[in-house]
Amino acid sequence: MMDAPKIVTTRPLLIARNVSKAYGDVQALSDVSATVYPGEVLGIVGESGSGKSTFLRSLNLEETPDTGSYTLDLPDVQGNLFDLDRYARRMLCATKIGIVYQNPHLGLLMKHSSSGNVAERLLVAGERRFSVLRDKARDALDASEFPLERMDAPPIELSGGMQQRVQLAKAIALEPALLLLDEPTTGLDVSVQALVLDTLKKLQQERKITMVIVSHDLGVIRTLSDRVMVMRRGKVVEQGLADQVFQDPQHAYTQQLVHAKL
């Protein structure tokens, strides 16, 4: 067990404690806890079915765990977020938390314009002036390195890499305190993957956005994360500094995982 922080005195942004969730007989999450500091990137790795995406969706308040607590240290945000009603959840997720899904169909309206997809976020947060909506949508798309001449094209006409950029623009449009990424580069070809990774790294360094990223691609996790959490069968088997988990894995499962990497 490591000591409590002594030098970094800021409070954690995110604290999740003992989150458990069962789907029928299947225990998807058992006692998962995580702490993330402002500006930090937490990577979560694990095989399919390890519960990593369920945990991420819980952080996006799409799932209601059976037990456990989840707090965000933000102004006007109090108590266990799992206790919020549907409306409060929707407002919180629309304004403070951004998410990028592996499947753009989950995050985007495929037949609406890309700029409209981003602006929809701003509308939910109460912005009504058309010029502001458009400017902010353009800024977010630009920060996501989306080619602006295509901002009015619907995502269905765009490549997978471009669709991920629209999702990313939508997620960061309101400068969220927390950005959640669920396999953001899985399914993209390697050159596009590199570009998306580069964009994420820039956002992380320039805007200091706190991120939780789930991927089964260890290279992606290693490139982006400060800290890594390894999950298996709904449990956290190991967590630590990214280089430590990859270079000196303690748990048998993590060793197996690291040694299996190409």
Partner 1 sequence: MTVLDVRSLTKGFTMHHLGTQMGAFDDISFSLNAGEFLLLKGRNGAGKSTLLRTLYRSYLSQSGEVLFHSQHGVIDLARAADVDVTYLRRTEIGFVTQFLTARPRVSAEALVAEPLRLAGQTAEVALEQARHWLGAFGVKQELWAAYPTTFSGGEQQKVNLARTLILPQKLLLLDEPTASLDVAARAALVKRLAELKAQGTAMIGVFHHPGDVAELIDREIDLTPDAKPKEDREDVAI
The residues binding partner 1 (CB under 8 A) are 2-8, 37, 40, 190, 193-195, 197-198, 201, 205, 223, 226-227, 240-241, 243-244, 247-248, 250-252, 255-256, 259
Tell me how far, at minimum, the Cβ of 253 lies from partner 1, in Å. Answer: 9
In the block, which residue shows the tokens 């006409």?
157
Tell me how far, at minimum, the Cβ of 1 lies from partner 1, in Å. Answer: 8
Shorter beta-carbon distance to partner 1: residue 40 or 63:
40
Tell me how far, at minimum, the Cβ of 226 lies from partner 1, in Å. Answer: 5
In this structure, the chain runs to a length of 262
Q: Which of 253, 242, 234, 261 is nearest to 30 (CA)?
A: 234
Shorter beta-carbon distance to partner 1: residue 145 or 175:
145
Q: Which of 213, 199, 234 is nearest to 42 (CA)?
A: 213
Evaluate whether 121 touches 132 at the Cβ level (below 8 Å): no
Tell me how far, at minimum, the Cβ of 160 lies from partner 1, in Å. Answer: 17
Evaluate whether 97 touches 60 at the Cβ level (below 8 Å): yes
Shorter beta-carbon distance to partner 1: residue 131 or 247:
247
Tell me how far, at minimum, the Cβ of 224 lies from partner 1, in Å. Answer: 10
- Quickly count helices (H) and strands (E) in the chain: 10, 9
Tell me how far, at minimum, the Cβ of 251 lies from partner 1, in Å. Answer: 8
The beta strands (E) that lie in 89-190 are given as 97-100, 178-182
Shorter beta-carbon distance to partner 1: residue 71 or 244:
244
Residues facing residue 20 across a β-bridge = 67
Q: Which residues contact 6 (CB under 8 A, 6 or more apart)?
A: none
Shorter beta-carbon distance to partner 1: residue 2 or 262:
2
Phi, psi of 167 (to 5 degrees): -60, -40
Q: Which of 31, 3, 2, 34 is nearest to 18 (CA)?
A: 31
Tell me how far, at minimum, the Cβ of 199 lies from partner 1, in Å. Answer: 10
Shorter beta-carbon distance to partner 1: residue 21 or 227:
227
Evaluate whether 29 touches 19 at the Cβ level (below 8 Å): yes
Shorter beta-carbon distance to partner 1: residue 5 or 79:
5
